[in-house]
Amino acid sequence: MNAIDELTESFSRLPGIGKKSAGRLVNFILKADKTYVNKFATQLSTLQDKIKPCSVCGTWTESDPCPICTDSLRDRSIICVVEQPQDVSTIESAHEFSGLFHVLGGVIAPLEGIGPDQLNIASLLQRIKDGSVKEIIIATNPTVEGDTTALYLQRIIQTAAPDVKVTRLASGLPVGGDLEYADKLTLARSFRGRTEV
């Protein structure tokens, strides 16, 4: 196995990249600017050392606590609970939410052996103990597992802190979408969650 095959193999281990695309990427790297390739390699090898989960909310960060947790301008009375660290940047890019985050690190999935104990739920309850948090927005994905996790969280938060409002992101037709292409479940949800005009 020569250097080309080795790098092809490594590229094809990336998600969504097959053997053929990997070969194409290696050919690009062979002809690419040396400075770029070296910077790329350094960024790759140092990423995991530089980026760690925030000790408060669990999102990926270079400084601990993360810039969101330490930002004094953000609304500390609302926490948005997400599945994965990358969900934080997705929500941040919408510029709609200005509260804090909490990353669960997954969802309850009994078939994959993931129960509530494997998720960062204890640290969430810890964060709402002092009474400063008024609302928790559960932003798990609108899937069976995401919904189950939302329900579980709602119950456990209600028990631990009855004054905290627990909400869930609206589920329905995507903006710019077309009724014709909406699946039955999404359509059903958009009826149930209809709002007054």
Stretch that binds its own copies, among 31-39, 120-128, 136-144, 173-181 (CB under 8 A): 31-39
Nearer to its own copies, 44 or 185 (CB): 44
Site size with its own copies, rule: CB under 8 A: 43
Helices (H), 1-143: 3-12, 19-31, 34-50, 67-70, 85-92, 122-128
Tokens of 95: 């510029």
CA distance 186 to 179: 10
Q: Does 13 bind its own copies (CB under 8 A)?
A: yes
CB burial string 171-195: b at 16+ within 10 A, e below: bbeeeeeeeeebeeebeebbeeeee
Among 3, 73, 94, 197, binds its own copies (CB under 8 A): 3
Q: Does 4 bind its own copies (CB under 8 A)?
A: yes
Residue 141 per-residue DSSP state: -
Nearer to its own copies, 70 or 77 (CB): 70
**Footprint of its own copies (CB under 8 A):** 2-4, 6-7, 10-11, 13-16, 21, 23-30, 34, 36-48, 50-51, 60-62, 84-86, 89
